[in-house]
Amino acid sequence: MTSSQTMQPTEIAADHALAMPAHVDHSHLVVADLPMVSTWYQRIMGLKPLETSASGETLGVGGRPLLTLTTSGDARKAPRNAPGLFHTAFLVPNREELGRWLAHAAHNNVGLQGASDHLVSEAIYLADPEGNGIEVYRDRPRSEWNFKPDGTVGMDTLPLNLQALYDEVPKDEWHGMAQGTGIGHIHLQVSDIPEADAFFRDVLGLGLMARYPGASFFGSGKYHHHVAANIWNSRGAPKRETQMTGLSDYTIQFKDATERARAVAKLDTLGIAVDRNGDTYSLVDPWGIGLKLAA
């Protein structure tokens, strides 16, 4: 790939999702119609092209790569119950930026799938033209989060008043996602929740921050979640096949290489093959989803 922009550092708060000991850094989707999907992410999601190659593009915000799109002639459409992506969640800096994106989406007649107040955050849900789930959200200050004695955090799914959010923001021209936007979390479809708990908590070292019926939420540094896993569509489903559209892989970035090494060692005890390419370790998780561990 050839880079067209360089990374621009952005100051983030010490308790921000991306400042934690581990966070999701990147998502990689396989799509059927690359030009159409890429144009949509640029026009509707406000991502900017950063790198291009013969088989794909990497898009991001402020020079930060967030989403790689590639295409493959032999990829078949993933069935709805296949393990893989539930949604990629784009974390915007504040409520005003969430509202400004909402106004942009409304003015472009974008169909939304839902909007929720999760107590720790406010979120809007939609899908890209090929059905890949997306969340756009803002976090409430941690001082407003309710941590329980067992270390989990109080979360709920309450209605979000989209009209109020729309009404309170300026309707000036929107030029894309604001500087500082990142992937706050990734939500996956898996086959089994106890297996997900064992993988993300016991092997990768993420804290179990919340449970819903059929779902677990895992976070680093007491963040409400960097990774979620549910079985709502995919309970007991077989492993994802390699040549499928949708989520090919995603990257978890560790601040401390020692913590990453600890996770890699535990993967070895499970017999999960790990490949090293430079400073990145790559593997396929128990559900056939690609995962890269960087530090």
pLDDT in tens, 250-283: 999 999 999 999 999 999 988 999 999 999 999 9
Give pLDDT, residue 8. Answer: 42
Other C-beta atoms within 10 Å of 80: how many?
A: 11
Cβ–Cβ < 8 Å for 162, 106: no
DSSP 201: I
Question: b/e for 106-139, b at 16 or more Cβ within 10 A?
Answer: eeeebeeeebbebbbbbbbbbebebebbbbbbbb
Mean pLDDT of 227-246: 95
User: What one-letter code names the amino acid at 266?
Assistant: K
Other C-beta atoms within 10 Å of 18: how many?
A: 20
Give pLDDT, residue 11. Answer: 74
Q: Strand, coil or helix: what is 166? A: helix
pLDDT band at residue 10 using 50, 70 and 90 as cut-offs: low
State pLDDT tens for residues 72-127.
Answer: 888 899 999 999 999 999 999 999 999 999 999 999 999 999 999 999 999 999 99
State pLDDT tens for residues 34-52.
Answer: 999 999 999 999 999 999 9
Give pLDDT, residue 243. Answer: 86
Cα separation of the two ends of the chain: 21
Give pLDDT, residue 105. Answer: 97
Q: Is 27 exposed, middle or buried (0-12, 13-18, 19+ CB in 10 A)?
A: buried
What's the rounded Cα separation, in Å, for the pair 27 and 49? 14
Give pLDDT, residue 75. Answer: 84
Residue of higher predicted confidence among 119 and 54: 119
Sign (positive or negative) of CA dihedral 96, 105, 135, 70: negative
Give pLDDT, residue 177. Answer: 97
Paired tokens of 133: 């789930």
Give pLDDT, residue 265. Answer: 95
What's the rounded Cα separation, in Å, for the pair 29 and 22? 21
DSSP 209: E
Give pLDDT, residue 7. Answer: 41
Other C-beta atoms within 10 Å of 48: how many?
A: 18
What residues contact residue 98 under an 8 Å CB cut-off, 6+ apart?
A: 92, 122, 124, 136, 137, 138, 165
Q: Is the model's pLDDT at 54 over the cut of 90?
A: no
Give pLDDT, residue 4. Answer: 40
Query: Reading across the β-sheet that carries 182-189, which strands appear in turn?
Result: 158-159, 114-117, 121-127, 133-139, 84-91, 182-189, 227-230, 215-219, 207-212
State pLDDT tens for residues 132-187.
Answer: 999 999 999 999 999 999 999 999 999 999 999 999 999 888 999 999 999 999 99
Give pLDDT, residue 12. Answer: 86
Give pLDDT, residue 282. Answer: 98
Residue listed under structure tokens 């809007």 = 124
What's the rounded Cα separation, in Å, for the pair 137 and 117? 10
Mean pLDDT of 50-60: 93
For residue 291, the number of C-alpha atoms closer than 13 Å in the C-beta half-sphere is: 27
